[in-house]
């Protein structure tokens, strides 16, 4: 959470920083700021709210070719102008931006900063005050920066400006993501390459506990003890048009519509020249060697992990448990003898998952990350990575990454089944093609779903999504989508479980959305719907051909029973989108959330 940028070159730094921050707003958007350096000193502008609010306070006449910037998701201290980054040391010599959490900031303050008056409530301020204190003790800026970082416990991606040398940016990283972008006579820094594609597509990674001294011509990587390191750069395979909204009013709608293309892209990426599944032999062995698979994920990715469990167990006959990362981290169950851990994460940066990954590596167990961002922390630190090829997902509410994760898990499950000789009559590459076609009908059915959102959800305080077996997991995801962007209290329930308590919440007009795609339980879920209708619920039924009834609001084209979640989630996503829109909510940037959750 939080995004940082930096620029040192020959162009107008403030405009590049502001544009970069706009691309990073998905990482947090409760306040933002930039600091620019020129011959008259370092000038800081910061404001509560979005980048648009920051633009209003930046002095456009102030010229600069060097600067750093930050967009914040508050952890320590309320969202306010005071707590917004950049922060300055008491002497104003040093200015800093930081993404992460400094766990020992109270202790460091007591030990090193007695008498130094803190201005903000943030943990970040401690970093800049320590650098100032150590430089007063006689250390060079680089030495003071390295000493400070070596004392920090927790996570940081940070960039520092020194008012006595305004042609250098010092950056450091531990656990939080940070990249250096390289160009001719220009270098940049960013939490995510997308922010700086406007300047370059050549990037260099920084490892944990390294610093980089960045000037216009050089980017020198060093360890915290000062030892120099050489690091190769790479060309980011990102197209800047992927991160534009185009003609869409919101990223979320664009990303919903991209799902058929994403599925077709996955088919292409995972197919060899003989039309067979293409997967690394090492990954195949890791899956087939395991006596049990532990899927670890959070939020929407957890919901895809629940579907993944069903797919792997049913198709490959390997036992699977799916766990919420933040729970698993502090309450690990008894593990099997030969476990394989699968981390599912759109961003590849989620702190809860990383905590589990670190523990798992310490125990010596193999780990596979399924992610949309191959160079991400979870991807680099796991033994193996499977890429979901969904393209950048910008809207905070995840849509195409979720369906992509399930598609990749279906392919993985069949590959493993074939490797161990389980007989299956299911060709995922072919069936995913049918899924992609089925998804396409929703580009035409949006009006019906917009009407559902208007009729059922424009004024209601709460809503229920009910389903059974795989449909239950999709209902959990549908409810999460609705609550995160429309702020309606929503719950996804197993249809049979309602009458064991929750049905007490059903009253006249309560919206209940039922889902039926699984033939073996379709009559049961219809029975459960009758129970809530008898108590006044306002019912909406979404079904799939083969399970449909005449009165159903939406009937989806049939797809293979293993893959129904990839299609049935689309109406849920679209209904949530319109519900949020009708209620005047900010669809792409819902309150209190951020796209990349890099704090525990």
Q: Which residues bind ligand F6R (CB under 6 A)?
A: 298-301, 345-347, 350, 353, 397-398, 480, 484, 597
- Is the separation of the CB atoms in 525 and 471 below 8 Å? yes
Nearer to ligand F6R (CB atom), residue 353 or residue 512:
353
- Is the separation of the CB atoms in 488 and 579 below 8 Å? yes
Nearer to ligand F6R (CB atom), residue 9 or residue 478:
478
Q: What are phi and psi of 39, to 5 degrees?
A: -65, -20
Give least dist CB 549 to ligand F6R, A.
Answer: 30
Rounded-to-integer distance, Cα 523 and Cα 533, Å: 15
Nearer to ligand F6R (CB atom), residue 95 or residue 596:
596
Rounded-to-integer distance, Cα 382 and Cα 342, Å: 9
Inter-helix orientation angle 400-420/281-289, to 10°: 80
Task: From residue 585, give the alpha-carbon distance in Å to each of 183, 446, 480, 558, 592.
Answer: 40, 19, 15, 33, 13
DSSP category for residue 15: H
Q: Collapsing DSSP states into helix, strand and coil, what is residue 545?
A: coil
Give least dist CB 28 to ligand F6R, A.
Answer: 13
Q: Which residue among the candidates 2, 475, 540, 547 is catalytic per the annotation? A: 2
Return contacts of 217-220, CB within 8 angstroms, 24+ apart.
217/185, 218/187, 219/180, 219/182, 219/187
Give least dist CB 360 to ligand F6R, A.
Answer: 16
Nearer to ligand F6R (CB atom), residue 322 or residue 528:
322
Inter-helix orientation angle 564-582/400-420, to 10°: 170
Rounded-to-integer distance, Cα 502 and Cα 494, Å: 11
DSSP string, 378-415: HHHHSSEEEE-------SSS--HHHHHHHHHHHHHHHH
Nearer to ligand F6R (CB atom), residue 35 or residue 311:
311
Give least dist CB 380 to ligand F6R, A.
Answer: 15
Give least dist CB 25 to ligand F6R, A.
Answer: 15
Residues 378, 380, 385, 390: is their CA dihedral positive or negative?
positive
Give least dist CB 300 to ligand F6R, A.
Answer: 3
Rounded-to-integer distance, Cα 264 and Cα 262, Å: 5
Nearer to ligand F6R (CB atom), residue 471 or residue 484:
484
DSSP category for residue 498: G
Q: Which candidate, 462, 469, 461, 428, places its Cα nearest to that of 568?
A: 469
3-state secondary structure labels for all residues of 273-294: CCCCECCCHHHHHHHHHCCEEE
Would you call 2 a catalytic residue per the annotation?
yes
DSSP category for residue 197: T
Would you call 540 a catalytic residue per the annotation?
no
Q: Which residue among the candidates 254, 400, 481, 595 is catalytic per the annotation? A: 595
Instruction: Please state whether beta strands 87-88 and 94-99 pair in parallel, antiparallel, or not at all (unpaired).
Output: antiparallel
Nearer to ligand F6R (CB atom), residue 124 or residue 347:
347
Nearer to ligand F6R (CB atom), residue 478 or residue 495:
478
Give least dist CB 65 to ligand F6R, A.
Answer: 35
Beta bridge pairs of residue 321: 294
Give least dist CB 532 to ligand F6R, A.
Answer: 26
Known catalytic residues are 2, 595
């Amino acid at each position: 959470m939080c995004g940082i940028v930096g620029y040192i070159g020959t162009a107008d730094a403030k405009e590049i920083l502001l544009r970069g921050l706009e691309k990073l707003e998905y990482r947090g958007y409760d306040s933002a700021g930039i600091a620019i350096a020129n011959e008259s000193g370092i000038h800081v502008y910061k404001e509560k709210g979005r980048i648009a609010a920051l633009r209003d306070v930046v002095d456009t006449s102030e010229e600069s070719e060097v600067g750093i910037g930050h967009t914040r998701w508050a952890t320590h201290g309320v969202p306010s102008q005071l707590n917004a980054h950049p922060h300055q040391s008491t002497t104003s010599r040093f200015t800093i931006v930081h993404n992460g959490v400094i766990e020992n900031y109270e202790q460091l303050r007591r030990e090193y900063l007695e008498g130094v008056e803190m201005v903000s409530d943030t943990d970040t301020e401690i970093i800049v005050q320590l650098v100032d204190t150590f430089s007063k003790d006689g250390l060079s800026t680089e030495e003071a920066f390295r000493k400070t970082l070596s004392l920090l416990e927790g996570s940081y991606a940070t960039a520092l400006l020194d008012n006595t040398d305004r042609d250098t940016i010092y950056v450091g990283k531990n656990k939080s993501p940070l990249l250096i972008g390289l160009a001719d006579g220009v270098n940049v820094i960013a939490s995510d390459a997308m922010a700086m594609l406007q300047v370059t597509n050549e990037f260099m990674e920084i490892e944990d506990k390294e610093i980089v001294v960045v000037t216009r011509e050089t980017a020198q990587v060093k360890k915290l003890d000062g030892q120099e390191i050489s690091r190769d750069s790479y060309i980011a395979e990102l197209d800047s048009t992927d991160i534009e909204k185009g003609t869409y009013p919101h990223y979320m709608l664009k990303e919903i519509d991209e799902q058929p293309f994403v599925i077709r892209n996955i088919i292409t990426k995972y197919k060899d020249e003989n039309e067979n599944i293409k997967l690394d032999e090492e990954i195949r062995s890791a899956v087939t060697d395991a006596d049990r698979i532990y899927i670890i994920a959070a939020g929407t990715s957890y919901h895809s992990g629940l579907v993944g469990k069903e797919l792997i167990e049913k198709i490959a006959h390997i036992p699977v448990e799916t766990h919420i990362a933040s729970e698993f981290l502090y309450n690990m169950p008894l593990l099997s003898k030969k476990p394989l851990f699968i981390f599912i994460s759109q961003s590849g940066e989620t702190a809860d998952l990383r905590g589990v990954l670190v523990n798992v590596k310490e125990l010596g167990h193999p780990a596979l990350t399924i992610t949309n961002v191959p160079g991400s922390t979870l991807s680099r630190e796991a033994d193996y990575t499977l890429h979901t090829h969904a393209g950048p997902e910008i809207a905070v509410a995840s849509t195409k990454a979720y369906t992509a994760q399930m598609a990749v898990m279906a392919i993985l499950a069949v590959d493993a089944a074939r490797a161990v000789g389980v007989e299956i009559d299911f060709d995922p590459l072919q069936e995913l093609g049918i899924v992609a076609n089925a998804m396409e009908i929703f580009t035409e059915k949006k009006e019906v779903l917009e009407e559902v959102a208007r009729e059922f959800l424009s004024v209601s305080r709460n809503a229920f999504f009910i389903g059974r077996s795989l449909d239950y997991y999709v209902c959990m995801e549908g409810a999460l989508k609705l609550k995160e962007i429309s702020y309606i209290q929503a719950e996804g329930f197993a249809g049979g479980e309602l009458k064991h308590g929750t049905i007490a919440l059903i009253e006249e007009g309560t919206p209940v959305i039922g889902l039926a795609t699984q033939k073996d339980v379709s009559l049961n879920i219809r029975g459960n719907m009758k129970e809530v209708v008898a108590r006044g619920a306002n019912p909406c039924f979404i079904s799939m051909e083969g399970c449909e009834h005449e009165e159903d609001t939406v009937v989806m084209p049939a797809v293979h029973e293993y893959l129904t979640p990839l299609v049935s989630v689309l109406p849920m996503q679209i209904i949530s989108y319109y519900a949020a829109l009708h209620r005047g909510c900010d669809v792409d940037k819902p309150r209190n959330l951020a796209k990349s959750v890099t704090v525990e």
